């Protein structure tokens, strides 16, 4: 163990013994941990910091907007003027995601239909 690690562990132990952690928010509640197993180990800390700061990489922001537009289009009528604008924006986002190398199958609902069919058979 490095000297820094030993120093940090000592300070944490001293703080626990003094009761400095007893009245923290969320005390006694389970931690909400995200699955970051797909993120390379050397990038996990940086990704967590960016996520906690509310930052999303552009490709993930586009994906989020595309999902929201897909849900919006399902609620609008085809005659609604907002439908055409939203549909064009969704197509632009799909092209951008495909150019970034992301799969856009999540927008077509193939998986949802396959799951519904599978559960209907049972």
Q: What is the pLDDT of residue 113?
A: 62
102 neighbors 93 (Cβ within 8 angstroms): no
d(CA 78, CA 85) in angstroms, rounded, equals 11
- pLDDT tens digits for 32-69? 777 777 677 888 888 889 888 988 778 778 888 888 88
Contacts of 25 (CB under 8 A, 6+ apart): none
Indicate whether 28 pLDDT > 70. Answer: yes
Most confident range (mean pLDDT) of 1-10, 23-32, 106-115 is 1-10
Indicate whether 84 pLDDT > 70. Answer: yes
Q: What's the pLDDT band for 111 if we cut at 50, 70, 90?
A: low
Q: What is the DSSP letter of 43?
A: G
Indicate whether 14 pLDDT > 90. Answer: yes
Residue corresponding to tokens 């055409």: 84
Q: What is the pLDDT of residue 57?
A: 78
Instruction: Go through 10-44 and write b for each residue having 16 or more CB atoms within 10 A of its CB, e for each that does not.
Output: eeeeeeeeeeeeeeeeeeeeeeeeeeeeeeeeeee
Average pLDDT over the chain, rounded to an integer: 83
86 neighbors 76 (Cβ within 8 angstroms): yes
Q: What is the pLDDT of residue 18?
A: 92
Q: What is the pLDDT of residue 112?
A: 58
């Amino acid at each position: 163990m490095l000297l820094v690690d030993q120093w940090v562990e000592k300070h944490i132990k001293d703080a626990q013994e003094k009761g400095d952690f007893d009245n923290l928010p969320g005390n006694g509640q389970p931690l909400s941990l995200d699955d970051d197993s797909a993120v390379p180990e050397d990038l996990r800390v940086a990704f967590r910091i960016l996520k906690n700061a509310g930052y999303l990489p552009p490709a993930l922001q586009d994906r989020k907007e595309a999902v929201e537009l897909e849900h919006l289009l399902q609620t609008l009528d085809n005659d609604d003027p907002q439908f055409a604008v939203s549909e064009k924006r969704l197509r632009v986002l799909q092209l951008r995601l495909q150019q970034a190398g992301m799969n856009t199958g999540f927008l077509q609902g193939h998986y949802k239909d396959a799951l519904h069919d599978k559960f209907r058979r049972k």
